Amino acid sequence: MEMRIRQETPADFRGTEFLVREAFWNVYAPGCCEHFLLHRMREQPDFPAALSLVAEVNGRLIGHVACMPGRIEGDGGSSHEVLTLGPVAVLPSCQRRGVGAALLTRCREIAAGMSWRAILLCGDPDYYGRRGFEPAEKSGIRDAENRYRDALQICGLYEGALEGLAGRYFEHPVYRVEEAACTAFDRGFPPKERCAGTPSQRRFLEIAKRCRPFAD
């Protein structure tokens, strides 16, 4: 499979929203909101378009990744700008072929060239641990509610990037998606059946429960 990774263009927008919907449908919850999230991310003035990448084969979009700025409020009173990765999407028919890994690698390369310090995400540690990420807890980083979470992963983008980052991590507000707005947006796509209780949904809930309070 001869794959090309490039920056997303406005001509790709509808196609990437469709593939993100296909990739996430019923994976973490019945239906999905990731395609609406991507739509809203592009509307933000601080959206880093250079990190919105597509993977294509013979002109067909098969994968996409995007990021948003986030921040870590350090325990010593400092504030650090970081990136939040996601959504990362690969068409179901093209998964397990290295597409996601290639998108992640290229995204890290570009972000490092833009002088970003680190990338964080919430995802399956088993997958992202094989893609250059490590538990944020190792660097003393907690979520906004001051909890250590197994799902919270981090990747430093240069030597020593993770030193002195201990603190609370805050995602961009755009990640707080309104369900009603998502439902309305989804009506513009072909109907799909919503399923609950899938293995991937159970796995997501299991990982999400793995959190511990921070003991100062």
φ, ψ (nearest 5 deg) of residue 71: -150, 155
Total residue count of the chain as it appears in this document:
216
Would you give per-residue pLDDT tens digits along the chain (216 residues)?
689 999 999 999 999 999 999 999 999 999 999 999 999 999 999 999 999 999 999 999 999 999 999 999 999 999 999 999 999 999 999 999 999 999 999 999 999 999 999 999 999 999 999 999 999 999 999 999 999 999 999 999 999 999 999 999 999 999 999 999 999 999 999 999 999 999 999 999 999 999 999 987
Compute the chain's Rg from CA coordinates.
Answer: 17
Q: How far, in Å, CA of 3 to CA of 98, rounded?
A: 10
Domain ranges of the chain: 4-171+181-213
CATH fold of the domain at 4-171+181-213: Aminopeptidase (3.40.630)
Closest CA to 158 of 190, 118, 197: 118
pLDDT given for residue 59 in this prediction = 92
pLDDT given for residue 50 in this prediction = 98
Q: How far, in Å, CA of 135 to CA of 150, rounded?
A: 7
pLDDT given for residue 215 in this prediction = 81
Q: How far, in Å, CA of 95 to CA of 55, rounded?
A: 12
Q: Which residue has the tokens 């970003």?
A: 116
Whole-prediction pTM: 0.94
Q: Which residue has the tokens 């378009």?
A: 49
End-to-end CA distance of the chain: 50
